[in-house]
Amino acid sequence: MLDIKKIRANAEEIQKKLRTKDPTVDLTPILALDESIRSLKGTIESKQAELKATSKLIGEKKRKGEDASEQLEAVSGLGTKIDLDLKKLKQEEALFEDAMARLPNIPDDDIKVSLDPKDNVCIKTFGEKIQSPFPLKNHLELNEKLGLLDFKRGAKLTGSGWPVYSGMGARLEWALQNLMIDIHIKNGFEFYLIPHVVKPETMYGAGQLPKFRDQLFKLDDDDYPFMLIPTGEVALNGLHLDEIIPSEELTKKYTTISPCFRREAGAAGSGERGLIRVHQFNKVEMYCFAHPDKSDEVFEEMLKSAEEVLETLGLHYRNMLLVTGDMSFPSSRTVDIEVYLPGQERYYEVSSVSNCRDFQARRSKIRMREKGGKPELLHTLNGSGLATARLFVALLENNQNEDGSVNIPKALQPYLGGCECLKP
């Protein structure tokens, strides 16, 4: 959430920046509500003061045996007016909070302004696209003989976009998760296992509510109004909801593995079939609580940890600094790591590393305190480290042989009992 004080002081410039992410942003109604609320609060305080003074006068007149009927009538009417004003204030504050909660974060000043993802800037590449002497298969064609994934049974269980991993497919998915967790632990991240359902207020703190309510899966249970997490970021941010962290404990670096649940599975088509875009996928997540002076440094650390996974697996990738209109709702700065999938002949995101500055911290009331100082907002950062569905695809398609077998990268072999190759 943004700081209303900064919006008041520089509304025109902030609106201009916000419109580079969302052209529909209009701060006029928010500022009008803010002014009305402040005016209404002043009116209520004035009437309450008048009520207090009149009540005191009534008491004095009664003690003296004097007639206080006029004052009693005034008090009666004043109390009703205050109640009506308080009701109106509550309504306007609810509208204001909802409107503020729907404003995206402000992009950093050096981010390229564009609403078109095609304008994202490539800032790094690692490796090269594989050159194959034989026609390359996509992961669905490879799976026909390898039997790693069972999409038909997944559809029978739940529906399209809910894959089942079987046999060596399940073991390979498990191996990838363990390799990534080991890498992040080596790089200073503390491993957590978190709930996969959370309260609405936890979703709100991470920036998922109210804007993305229709994209979330919810439990149909009046006693447990929980939601399924779309990313481990939501729960990791919520660990310190409404807390003050001593500054000497920063940076806090967490990592977790969890399923991610998304209502939108993407557009249909050959390029989006299989594991490319699904309703449920596994993801290793990195999340950091950082001192504002250190968050840019922490951002680079997270990026390097995600890159190390792909480099350890020997996969070609590129880093894309996202333009303003392609960044996520709570982000001020985002780099997507995209791996090349030869079966699709295009790059796909497997990691998105973002610095959210104090946006999530303000929503979640997560602060830090210097020794002897007052609490102040810290910065939060998140990054995929990595999403395993597309990484699974990348491994199959980039390590395939002409006979349909798939070589296992050396770094993964110890997690698979020494298996060097998946054979039809």
First to last CA, the chain: 52
Q: Among the options 93, 349, 376, 405, which is catalytic?
A: 349
Q: H or E stretch including 395?
A: helix 388-398
86's CB contacts (< 8 A; 6+ apart) are: 44
Q: Which long-range contacts (CB under 8 A, 24 or more apart) does 156-159 make?
A: 158/279, 159/279
Q: Among the options 307, 333, 390, 397, which is catalytic?
A: 390
Q: Which long-range contacts (CB under 8 A, 24 or more apart) does 71-76 make?
A: 75/51
349 is catalytic: yes
352 is catalytic: yes
Give the separation between CA 238 and CA 198, rounded to whole angstroms. 9
Q: Among the options 19, 277, 363, 367, which is catalytic?
A: 277
Give the separation between CA 393 and CA 343, rounded to whole angstroms. 9
Strand 421-422 with 406-407, pairing: antiparallel
Give the separation between CA 66 and CA 274, rounded to whole angstroms. 87
Q: Among the options 262, 333, 357, 367, which is catalytic?
A: 262
262 is catalytic: yes
**Which phi-psi region, left, alpha or beta, contains residue 147 (left: φ > 0; alpha: ψ -120 to 50)?**
left
123's CB contacts (< 8 A; 6+ apart) are: 319, 320, 321, 335
Give the separation between CA 235 and CA 337, rounded to whole angstroms. 23
Q: Sign (positive/negative) of CA torsion 271, 272, 273, 277?
A: positive
Q: Among the options 305, 352, 364, 384, which is catalytic?
A: 352
Q: Sign (positive/negative) of CA torsion 220, 223, 225, 229?
A: negative
Residues catalogued as catalytic: 262, 277, 349, 352, 390
